[in-house]
A and B are shown apart, each in its own frame.
Chain A
């Protein structure tokens, strides 16, 4: 039966090892946002051996390009974007300490293998549940690549950000197994 875990960032390896696909996770702490364009630049920095704009050890990256914040709000609607566009960049970041990514949709084989190798997880957020997710984001601040506008890298302070474990550290894949379980063709 699926469990509910409240986890704090930066993520600890012992916590990650408890997680199984289908478990619900409520994340609290700091997470960082990045989409395609920001990933391209981050991975370039890694290649050049330069520092990233944030500490990647135990970090969580959320794939999101939020809507603009209304006055008095920390952020606008902020649901996940499709993750496969980040697949080419993800293993390089997992190799240097990234511990979780949050997005929607399944990942490539390379990313799955890299998660097992690096004891990391992929968390699915509910696509389209963008106003609900925005309410769990208490503070948002652009820390890099402001020119990318909605795609800039943001530092988010979240409390009980809801997601579901889609890939655990043991190599299980909820996209595969969920579909198999409910397929009636």
Chain B
């Protein structure tokens, strides 16, 4: 048994949420640079260049890339040989969020009850934590701050087996088409197929942790990803929805087994501020 104190987890999470919000991945910057060279719309080029300048400014000034520093979404892989000591595991993550969002000057965007009062909790907690227990004696923590604009354009459909892969493709494309400029295109499209109602959605979100350009390990799905990306970029929505060829930077598909009667499909849209950072303790 390896002992890890909760204070170590809090400290790690605090730094992680700040880093994720200040520094965009090189994969995203590179994909946008490539898009600038391929765009023919002057407005689209202008917007993409502004996005690139913003990456530099946020990095040098140590400011969040976007003011919507998101819901703090975590994927945690907890090694089964780890003994967490000194307190409550989930609370240690929330404490890291609390400290990181305060000390990093990140916006607090959580309301305590979603319908009636919608009062801000004031510290961006609670975080959303997806926990799995895995072999080993380490803890892998991934944070993916998720802004509201893109999250609001996401959807789950309980499709029929008869809808087939063409049905899945049409649903994904239609979802992006209906989103227009709202999720801050160029977007990253996460698709989760199978499992059950909630599992498909978690899978779609998890697919967004891939780096831009990283294809599915399944050759059939890898092809579908490429086809979908091409078709989405023919929609014409373009950067910020103002027209152009760059509507999406990538499409990621993940799938898992499901019930004989079901075919759940979830589409989780991410914006160009596609933030995620990983650390292993």
Contact = CB atoms under 8 A, between A and B. Distances in A.
Contacts of B231: 185
Interface string B57-86: 110011111111100000000000000000
Contacts of B65: 77, 128, 130-131
Contacts of A106: 180-182, 241
Nearest to B241: A175
Interface residues on B, range: 35 or more
Contacts of A149: 108, 120
A178 B107 contact: no
A127 B62 CA distance: 18
Contacts, number: 174
Interface string A123-155: 010111111101100000000000001100000
Contacts of B234: 183-185
Nearest to B234: A184
A185 B152 CA distance: 25
Main secondary structure of the interface of B (DSSP, over half): loop
Contacts of A132: 50, 53-54, 57
A131 B63 contact: yes
A104 B46 CA distance: 15
Nearest to B118: A37
B238 A182 contact: yes
Choose among A69, A134, A162 the residue with the greatest number of B CB atoms under 10 Å from its CB: A134
Contacts of A24: 46
Contact of B244 (A64, A78, A127, A178): A178
A105 B51 contact: no
Contacts of A175: 180-181, 241-243
B184 interface: yes
Interface string A16-55: 0000001010000000000000000000000000000000
B107 A65 contact: yes
Nearest to B185: A127
A161 B109 CA distance: 25
Given A66-B67, A132-B50, 17 more contacts: A22-B42, A24-B46, A65-B109, A68-B107, A70-B63, A81-B68, A82-B148, A82-B149, A104-B241, A105-B149, A130-B63, A131-B61, A135-B61, A149-B108, A150-B107, A175-B181, A185-B235
7 contacts: A24-B46, A77-B64, A126-B239, A177-B243, A179-B180, A181-B243, A185-B234
Interface of A: 2, 22, 24, 64-70, 73, 76-79, 81-82, 84, 104-106, 124, 126-132, 134-135, 149-150, 162, 164, 166, 174-175, 177-185
Interface of B: 40-44, 46-47, 50-51, 53-54, 57-58, 61-69, 105-109, 120, 148-149, 152, 180-182, 184, 231, 234-245, 271-273
